[in-house]
């Protein structure tokens, strides 16, 4: 039966409407739905990446994670592990080009602070560049997140976990002296914050093994035996008691503690500057009985360009510097002169690693 003109018109209108609907849907998909969907997906990916990165930081205990250091230019980076097979600790080591078995180099052990690992601390301190220039081997042990969730060296548990970690570190140092071209009698140790306190613990536990020790923004060693006491010690409200000092003196067995470098910002609100002066006093108190007192030199104020000014206080053993305290004006809880873009790093200060090597060379390392 032939369709009526009205039916034909209705069919034509339906086809036209369907065609227009399909065109509109394609236009919507092209101009609105697809871009919006893509934007949602991109935003979700970004959020997921941010959450993943934050989760990785939280799980790793590292605030500003970086890739493992790579060998560029002269010298080489190596990495490895040491310690118990079921709970190994990792390390990175930089060996300058000129160091050989017949021409052994001094070695600096660098201990990172809380919220850092060996790679991030190498980046903050520019360890490779300074070591390449000076010809030192640089060893960077790494605290595990299993031993401390924030990767702090456990300086505030000196009788148990701290003592065990000090022993582990000495095992690594011995291993490095055998494996790399290191002059074993020219080993120094320097640390930041918790790493600084652990460096001083090493110096007092093994005084014959270190040519010099140093602490940057660290607390007084043996000033706490738990986390609550550590918080008070970091505020400058607690120090080693008389019994502890007697035990330390006994352990030194008439030997001087190693030469000491202290660097600290006067605007540090995490570890108060008073920790530096208290540590200097501790070192003076631990001098062997019957030896001449250390001779203090006039303070020196130094400022180069627009970098932060420093006040340098020296005490001499005879004609050689033995104890140096460097107060960095306006520096908070951060590595002085460190690389930009990293946590616990202040590029405005003088280069902390170069200051340290200058002192270590001055004391005969």
- Note the pLDDT tens digit of each residue in 186-243: 999 999 999 999 999 999 999 999 999 999 999 999 999 999 999 999 999 999 999 9
Q: Compute the distance between CA of residue 289 and CA of residue 299 in angstroms, rounded to an integer.
A: 27
Q: Strands 335-336, 345-346: parallel, antiparallel or unpaired by DSSP?
A: parallel
Quote the mean pLDDT of the chain: 88
Backbone angles phi, psi at 9, to 5 degrees: -60, -45
Contacts for 329-334: CB closer than 8 Å, 24+ residues apart: 329/265, 329/266, 330/265, 330/266, 330/267, 331/264, 331/265, 331/266, 331/267, 331/268, 332/265, 332/267, 332/268, 332/269, 332/270, 333/193, 333/217, 333/265, 333/268, 333/269, 333/270, 333/271, 334/217, 334/265
Chain centroid, CA 91 distance in Å: 13
**pTM of the complete model:** 0.84
- Note the pLDDT tens digit of each residue in 251-308: 999 999 999 999 999 999 999 999 999 999 999 999 999 999 999 999 999 999 999 9
pLDDT grade for 85, boundaries at 50, 70 and 90 = confident
Q: Compute the distance between CA of residue 25 and CA of residue 27 in angstroms, rounded to an integer.
A: 5
- Note the pLDDT tens digit of each residue in 122-135: 999 999 999 999 99
């Amino acid at each position: 039966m032939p369709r009526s003109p009205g039916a034909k018109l209705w069919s034509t209108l339906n086809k036209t409407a369907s065609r227009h609907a399909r065109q509109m849907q394609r236009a919507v998909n092209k101009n609105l739905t697809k871009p919006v969907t893509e934007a949602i997906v991109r935003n979700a990916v970004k959020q997921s990446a941010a959450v993943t990165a934050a989760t990785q930081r939280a799980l790793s205990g590292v605030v500003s994670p970086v890739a493992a250091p790579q060998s560029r230019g002269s010298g080489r980076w190596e990495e490895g592990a040491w310690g118990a097979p079921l709970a190994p600790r990792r390390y990175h080591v930089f060996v300058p080009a000129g160091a050989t078995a017949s021409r052994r180099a001094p070695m600096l052990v660098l201990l990172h602070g809380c919220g850092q690992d060996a790679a991030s601390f190498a980046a903050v301190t520019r360890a490779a560049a300074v070591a390449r220039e000076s010809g030192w081997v640089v060893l960077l042990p790494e605290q595990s997140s299993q031993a401390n969730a924030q990767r702090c060296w456990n300086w505030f548990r000196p009788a148990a976990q701290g003592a065990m970690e000090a022993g582990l570190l000495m095992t690594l140092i011995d291993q490095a002296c055998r494996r790399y071209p290191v002059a074993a009698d020219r080993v120094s140790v320097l640390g930041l914050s918790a790493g600084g306190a652990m460096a001083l613990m090493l110096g007092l536990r093994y005084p014959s093994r270190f040519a010099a020790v140093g602490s940057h923004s660290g607390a007084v060693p043996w000033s706490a035996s738990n986390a609550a006491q550590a918080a008070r010690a970091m505020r400058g409200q607690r120090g080693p008691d008389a019994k502890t000092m007697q035990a330390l003196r006994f352990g030194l067995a008439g030997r001087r503690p190693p030469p000491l470098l202290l660097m600290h910002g006067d605007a540090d609100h995490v570890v108060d500057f008073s920790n530096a002066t208290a540590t200097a006093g501790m070192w003076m108190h631990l001098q062997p009985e019957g030896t001449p007192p250390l001779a203090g030199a006039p303070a020196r104020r130094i400022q180069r360009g627009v970098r932060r000014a420093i006040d340098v206080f020296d005490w001499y053993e005879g004609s050689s510097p033995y104890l140096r305290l460097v107060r960095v004006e306006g520096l908070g809880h951060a590595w002085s002169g460190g690389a930009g873009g990293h946590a616990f790093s202040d590029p405005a200060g003088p280069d902390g690693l170069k200051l340290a090597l200058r002192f270590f060379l001055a004391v005969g390392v």
